[in-house]
């Protein structure tokens, strides 16, 4: 324990780099997932073909290999050297974004066709019906799987040290080599990774609850008498239970 306390600032520095990789990778993956997932749900063959190419290519490439390519192969081809941290973010974003695109596509296609047809009858444009009707419902369906992808991306940042990124795993590895305390060194990393994962899980659950609440859906915990009391016909939102 004393070993961990003395070296806590170093672990926190590594954890901060891991958080940066996670946030950057998630932001990029989310944008790519929304863009290519939406393209994949369209009727025209061209946007669907573009989305399919992206998904099949980057879903089939290991994140670590993509990191190596961004950090070492790309500079040889283009003469442009990416900063190692940015190379890791791009690799993670491209890889996880491909999985996310399939989640978005499936969620959009799961929206009842009758509702889409109703928006067409109301003369809504594609942008209006996507923004006002389709995405709010699809968003609630995407979130549980998005939560899993966020956790997987965070864990995938652990290999970024192999391209020279001083993340949490790199700090633990340096501690092990410098002190020989293998168990203690990696226990510190294990604890911090677990804590970061719990924060992400909690955040995604909050988003899920908010999305379901906006759609008027009963929360997973609202079962039995609690759900009955919230029903509008019984008294939810009005008199309640005195």
pLDDT tens string 95-118? 999 999 999 999 999 988 888 888
pLDDT category at 237 given cuts 50, 70, 90 is very low
Note the pLDDT of residue 89: 96
Note the pLDDT of residue 173: 92
Note the pLDDT of residue 206: 93
Decide if pLDDT at 46 tops 80.
yes
Decide if pLDDT at 3 tops 80.
no
Sketch the domain layout of the chain as residue ranges: 2-219
Q: What DSSP string describes 137-193?
A: HHHHHHHHHHHHHHHHHHHHGGGGGGGT---HHHHHHHHHHHH--HHHHHHHHHHHH
Note the pLDDT of residue 228: 38
Note the pLDDT of residue 43: 87
| Average pLDDT for 34-56 | 94
CATH architecture of 2-219: Orthogonal Bundle (1.10)
| Average pLDDT for 216-233 | 50
Decide if pLDDT at 242 tops 50.
no
5 exposed, middle or buried (CB, 10 Å; 0-12, 13-18, 19+)? exposed
Report pTM.
0.83
Q: Nearest Cα to 90, choosing from 18, 21, 169?
A: 21
């Amino acid at each position: 324990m004393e070993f961990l306390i003395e070296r806590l600032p170093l672990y926190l520095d590594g954890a901060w780099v891991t958080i940066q990789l996670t946030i950057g990778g998630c932001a990029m993956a989310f944008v790519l997932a929304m863009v290519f997932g939406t393209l994949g749900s369209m009727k025209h063959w061209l946007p669907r073909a573009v989305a399919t190419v992206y998904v099949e290519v980057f879903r089939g490439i290991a994140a670590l290999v993509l990191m190596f390519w961004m950090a070492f192969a790309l500079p040889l081809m283009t003469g442009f050297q990416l900063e190692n941290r940015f190379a890791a973010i791009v690799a993670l974003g491209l890889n996880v974004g491909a999985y996310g695109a399939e989640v978005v596509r499936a969620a959009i296609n799961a929206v009842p066709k009758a509702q889409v047809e109703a928006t067409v009858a109301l003369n809504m444009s594609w942008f209006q019906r996507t923004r006002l009707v389709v995405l709010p419902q699809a968003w609630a369906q995407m979130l549980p799987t998005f939560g899993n992808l966020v956790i997987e991306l965070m864990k995938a940042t652990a290999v970024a040290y192999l391209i020279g990124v001083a993340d949490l795993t790199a700090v633990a590895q340096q501690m092990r080599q410098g002190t020989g305390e293998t168990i203690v060194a990696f226990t510190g990393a294990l604890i911090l990774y677990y804590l970061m994962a719990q924060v992400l899980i909690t955040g995604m659950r909050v988003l899920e609850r908010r999305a379901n609440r906006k759609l008027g859906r009963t929360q997973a915990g609202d079962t039995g008498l609690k759900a009955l009391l919230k029903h509008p016909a019984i008294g939810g939102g009005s008199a309640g239970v005195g």
